[in-house]
A and B are shown apart, each in its own frame.
Chain A
Amino acid sequence: MWVLGGLLIAFILVPVVRLATTSSLGSLTHAAENAQIRDAIQLSLQDAAITAAIATVVGVPLAYVLARRRFRGRNFVQAIVDLPLAVPHTVAGIALLFVFGRTGWVGGPASHVGISFYGSQWGIVTAMLFVSAPFAVNSARVALEAIDPNIERAARSLGASPSFSFRHVTLPLAARGVITGAVLVYARSISEFGAVVILAFYPVTAPVEVYNLFLQSGLTESASAAVLLLFVSLATFLVLRTLASGWLFAGAERERA
């Protein structure tokens, strides 16, 4: 058990550490000073944050319905939520292109009001949202399912409207799961390549930029940009993860124990 587990951990850790130690501090500074790389990283962070916000706002109500209501077709809806996890991301990108491309069902009408998904930040967010939304829904759903329905009934019997009860009872109790979901969406979005590269090659996000550098200049050149991206995304992820599971919800942690 220990041997197999250790092998997996090593398998994950060795390439990351090898990559992290491959670049000199000088080449990292060089990469950081490169406006193109910097813009790409900034764009990735920004669009991942927008995606996390949208996925949470749209995902939590759906999670609530899935957690609390028993209706016909509930399993089917849950399967649809999980669908993006099973679809190869390049396939997702092509599917999205049919709908959000310049002549697509949504892309066509949207272009008339001046919104283009193809080759724009909207496209990047759309692609990120498609592949990462399941994390927001599922994480919130698990947290909501863990809340005793009697606690919500108590709130209603005490005079709370459904919205008062949701804001003051349900949401605070599920906050941990909701925020964990947002962090997962964020992490998944930063790392997204396949769907983004097809729907919105430009403007260039960080993973796309790394791929471009790899094609144009080879392994060594792309490595420093890759390391930079690795550090930035790992750092933000770790900070958010600590916030979500650490001191911010120390109270919630105790409850589970």
Chain B
Amino acid sequence: MPESGLLIRGLTTRAGSFELKDIDLEVAADKALVVLGPSGAGKTMLLHTIAGFRQAAGGQVYLNGRELTRLAPEHRGIGFVFQDAALFPHLSARENVAFGLRARGESRPDRVEELMTRFGVSGLAERSPRSLSGGERQRVALARALAFEPDLLLLDEPLSALDQPTREELRSVIQDLVSGLGIPVIHVTHDRDEAFSLADDLAVIVAGKLRQSGDAHRVAAAPGDAVVARLLGWAELGRGKATGGKVVIGEVSLDAGDHTGAVRVFYRPEEVLLAAVGSSSPAPPSVTARVQRITRTFPLARVLLGSDPPVTALMLRREIERFDLAVGKTMEVAMPADAVWIIGSAQN
């Protein structure tokens, strides 16, 4: 067992008929693990069980070599940040930050001041949480969770309740924080962008089960099953049968590698290449297709192509202008080999 960091073995917990089962995770000190999963997957339940708000039905939690599984929350030394901040409404921002020290019978005004300054809320020290904006509350909550020098920091969707500019601002605050903290951090989210901007490691939880975990970029590049693939931004091209190292879906023929039998083929929409018909088209196998729909969002646009099977390309808006793309126009469509991922049906 590692002397430092967080180790979770076979953790199981139940709420009614829902079960979070056999979770194995490891987070080194100074690493950030992002737990990604759809709403209702059991992510919050996992954090609550680690923090001791909820009793584990099985398994163990070790922090820095010490077993926490049966300890009361106040004896675990874990800082927790809630989605809605959960500040004490009857205390000032400063008193909120000082609470953890006060509960331990300590008074360290300089420590409190230091953290409030670090998170940019020292000017709000005397304010009531009610009068703070969502972003300010979350900054106070971060300072509060760290003031007593916890051995582990748990962040339960701390950005989900914020508007987008505040969310992006606070995301970089958390990014900076995590890199220099020296303690393990678990950040829970259902937002893929947020996950990749913060994660060293990634764990994907779906319906109470840990589907996949490991280095964030490795997990993203090689999803183990269809659900994880979709969560990580892969789009499904279709199902097919791999024979002789090839798989054919509609009019697209792809290299199937070692796969044989029924497979599902996924691709990354942002890697799909478009070119004008007849131009020196890119090397990968390409097809021609008519543009069926263009959905413009910021900063990207989705282009639905009526190939067989249909393909969605994700591109910068300025590329739309460059290609002079419009519904009905015919384009050359290509998919680079590293933008394609094949999952054997056994893993579905």
Q: Chain A 140-171 against B: per-residue CB contact (8 Å), 1 yes, 0 no?
A: 00000000101101111111111010001100
Q: Could you say which of B52, B72, B88 contacts A154, with CB atoms under 8 Å apart?
A: B88
Q: Please, how many angstroms separate the alpha-carbon atoms of A173 and B129 in the complex?
A: 14
Closest to A164 in B: B103
Considering only residues 117-152 of chain B, those with a C-beta below 8 Å from chain A are: 128, 130, 144-145, 148
Residues of A contacting B86 in the complex (Cβ-Cβ under 8 angstroms) = 148, 150-151, 153-154
Cα distance A160–B52 in the bound complex, in angstroms: 13
A158 touches B90 (CB 8 A): no
User: How far, in angstroms, from A158 to B96 measured CA to CA in the complex?
Assistant: 10
* A156 cross-chain contacts in B, Cβ below 8 A: 52-53, 72-74
Contact A154 B80 (CB under 8 A): yes
Instruction: Assess the B130–A254 pair: CB atoms within 8 A.
Output: yes
Query: Is the CB–CB distance between A158 and B99 below 8 Å?
Result: yes
A238-257, CB under 8 A of B: which get 1 and which 0? 00000000000001001100
Q: Are A153 and B80 in contact (CB under 8 A)?
A: yes
Contact of A172 with B by CB under 8 A? yes
- How far is A123 from B216 in the complex, measured between Cα atoms in Å? 71
Asked if B89 is at the interface (CB within 8 A of a chain A CB), the reply is yes
Measured between beta carbons, the chain B residues less than 8 angstroms from A161 are 72, 74, 103
Q: Is B78 an interface residue (CB 8 A)?
A: yes
Residues on the A chain within 8 Å of B87, using CB: 151, 154
Is B84's CB within 8 Å of the partner chain A? yes
- Is the CB–CB distance between A155 and B99 below 8 Å? yes
B100 interfacial contact with A, CB 8 Å = yes
Query: How many Å lie between the Cα of A173 and that of B144 in the bound state?
Result: 19
Nearest A-chain residue to B104, judged by Cβ: A159
The answer to whether A251 and B90 touch across the interface, beta carbons within 8 angstroms, is yes
Contacts of B130 in A (CB 8 A): 254-255
B28: interface (CB < 8 Å): no
Closest to B54 in A: A153
B128 cross-chain contacts in A, Cβ below 8 A: 251
A-side interface residues toward B, CB under 8 Å? 148, 150-151, 153-162, 164, 168-169, 172-173, 251, 254-255
* 18 extra interface residue pairs, beta carbon distance < 8 Å, beyond A154-B88, A156-B73: A148-B84, A151-B87, A153-B51, A154-B82, A154-B87, A155-B88, A156-B52, A157-B51, A157-B52, A157-B53, A158-B99, A158-B148, A159-B100, A159-B104, A159-B148, A161-B74, A164-B103, A255-B130
